[in-house]
Structure 1
Amino acid sequence: MTSAPLPAQRLLLVHAHPDDESIGNGATMAKYVAMGRHVTLITCTAGEQGEILVPELEHLAADRDDALGPVRKDELEAAMKELGVTDHRFLGGFGTYRDSGMQWHAEGHAIPADDVRDNAFWKADLTEAADHLVAVIREVRPQVLVTYDEFGGYGHPDHVQAHRVAMYAAQLAAVDSYRRDLGAAHEIAKIYWSTMSEEKMREGMRALRAQGETSGFAAMDPDGPMPRIATPESDIAAAVDGSEFLDAKMAALTAHATQITTDGPFFALSNNVGASAFGVEYYRLVKGVRGPVGEDGFETDLFAGIDADA
């Protein structure tokens, strides 16, 4: 529970695993902390099934020592220090829900693994999981919530479940007669789904190819179909320019050392395209009234249009 009064503007993010937050919203989080806003991160699992990119730590894998979770917990702690976020929690407490794992469908998106453990987040009771988040919403009373779309960006079952839990909890938290033991009802004014700009992704692919890159994003046809995580800018409501905090975002990504390497696609795209690729983060507005927009037609602030007393 929080003790001291919180800042007037409060953002809540719901993510599936450690590192998801830094990839999708790291610049936004760092920017808002620097602006004096309160940022709360909820991570739903410890990412125990994650692929390990550090050879000397491969023994931590789920099919060996099964000890990756605490390491990723420490990585998340280090990443949040880079972004300045002090309020980060695991849904229901560390270890309540386990990474569900995934496999790749022939069409190129993630789907649930064939074998999913009983305590996996994918199998969590929706109301039980949502209630953990209801308690946080009623405690922190955020005006803005950020999570994934209904496909979880690329289909990962934990991302899909995080979307379901976040959206359901937002509804339940606003009902005065629901679970009064979890705190006084609170309605979140604006809800966004994280996304990537289709147009900027195509530009990035072309830039990578021009630099001689042939793998990762560069392997995709910049004029062909885009993955579902990319959204046409006509469907994007907000673009938060956190390019001033790109270094903090990259440092946070580096902190997730078992999952992200400096020669991987994120750093390659950043090195070749710069802040335009990862310093500006995009959002679809799914609840609330769109606020004033900038010259490019996007909201520049997720709190745009919200009453200061909300």
Structure 2
Amino acid sequence: MTYTIVSFHAHPDDETLLTGGTLARAAAEGHRVVLVTATLGEAGLASGGELGGRRHAELLAAAGALGCARVEVLGYRDSGLHAGTGGCFADAPVEEVAHRLAAILREEHADALTGYDARGGYGHPDHVQVHRVAPVAARLARTPLLLEATVDRRALRPLLAVLGLAGRLLPRLPLDGAATVFTPHEQLTHAVDVRRYARQKRAALRAHASQATGGPGIRTVAALAGLPAPIFAAVAGREWFIEPGRPRNRPLTDDVFATLRG
């Protein structure tokens, strides 16, 4: 049986970093994959030209590499790291955004929706807003399965050590406060093996070229995309999710559609 999964993200490149392998795997297995981003990431790293337009083109290229059948951008303004400036995605009414996302879920007869964990990963206001919006949209559209994309906190520090980026990976973000970012291992419900789709995930990362340079420190996209293929597969070969309401005393499942399959 095939399913339709809608993956909801805050900015271009989030889809690849958090869920790229899962989306590529779902597409390769014959499922319909729909990508929705709230913003074009206009507050991201600037590298010349009109950034929103460039990031839109990069998003489409990445979606193509992952096998997405449809891409939609809701058109909200990137909040950057600080909400409250007015007119940004993080400041938009949750119900308003949820109704717009729910309309897409209904059009697609979506079986599953991905959002983010309660921390928004590392606390970015737009990521936290994705966490707020996704369950409301799923309820409005009666989408049966909600998955919250995250990172296994237990795997985070070894990953940073491999990359050699501890303290520099995401400047100004609280990655050193390991107790406050992403998700403890015992709260995870899904650990998806995506090593066979590392080629697609790396191609999608490389599509986000505007985010590979500029700003202080080494950039996440550049650091990951530049790894040799075997190391990339080892470092980026697993993706994690929380299924709200799923008992956490069960073994982690490798199948994002496990609940739908019964």
TM bucket by the smaller chain?
0.7 to 0.9
Please list, as runs of the form range in 1=range in 2, the aligned pairs for 1:232-247 lying within 5 A after superposition.
Answer: 232-247=184-199
Query: Does 2:208 match 1:256?
Result: yes
- Quick one: structure 1 residues 157 and 265, their matched pair in 2 at CA, closer, same or farther if it must change by over 3 Å? closer
Is 1:191–1:287's contact at 8 Å kept on the other side of the alignment?
A: no
Identify the match of residue 80 of structure 2 among 101, 108, 124.
Answer: 101
Task: Kindly report which structure 2 residues correspond to 1:72-221, keeping only aligned pairs within 5 A, or say none.
Answer: 72-91=55-74, 95=75, 97-102=76-81, 111-112=82-83, 116-118=85-87, 120-173=88-141, 187-208=142-163, 216=168
- Give the AA of the match of 1:72: R
**1:130-186 superposed Cα distances (whole Å, 9 cap, x missing partner):** 11111111111222211112221111111122222212111222xxxxxxxxxxxxx
Deviation at 1:197, TM superposition (A): 1.5
Instruction: Map 1:46-65 onto structure 2 (within 5 A).
Output: 46-52=40-46, 54=47, 57=48, 60=49
Q: What is the identity, as a one-letter code, of the residue corresponding to 2:256?
A: L
Letter aligned with residue 50 of structure 1: G
Alpha-carbon RMSD: 2.8
SS in 2 for 1:100: coil
Question: CA contact under 8 A between 2:189 and 2:246: conserved in structure 1?
Answer: no
Stretches of structure 2 lacking an aligned partner (at least 5 in a row): none
Q: In 2, Cα distance between the equivalents of 1:215 and 1:124?
A: 32
Unaligned runs of 5+ residues in structure 1 are 1-6, 61-66, 103-110, 174-186
Which structure dedicates a bigger proportion of its chain to helix?
A: 2
- Deviating more after overlay: 224-233 vs 35-44: 224-233
Displacement, 1:265? 3.8
Q: How far 1:81 moved relative to its partner?
A: 1.2
In 2, the alpha carbon distance for the partners of 1:140 and 1:38 equals: 9
Q: CA deviation at 1:287?
A: 4.1
> In the TM superposition, what is the alpha-carbon distance from 1:240 to its structure 2 partner?
1.0
Which aligned segments of 4 or more residues in structure 1 are displaced greater than 6 angstroms? none
8 Å Cα contact 1:29/1:39 also seen in 2 = yes
- Residue 277 of structure 1, aligned match among 235, 240, 244: 235
Superposed displacement of residue 266, structure 1: 4.9
Identity of aligned residues (%): 36
Count how many residue pairs are aligned between Structure 1 and Structure 2.
252
TM-score normalised over the length of structure 2: 0.85
TM-score normalised by the chain length of structure 1: 0.72
- Could you say if the C-alpha distance between residues 45 and 275 of structure 1 is closer, same or farther in structure 2, counting changes exceeding 3 Å? same
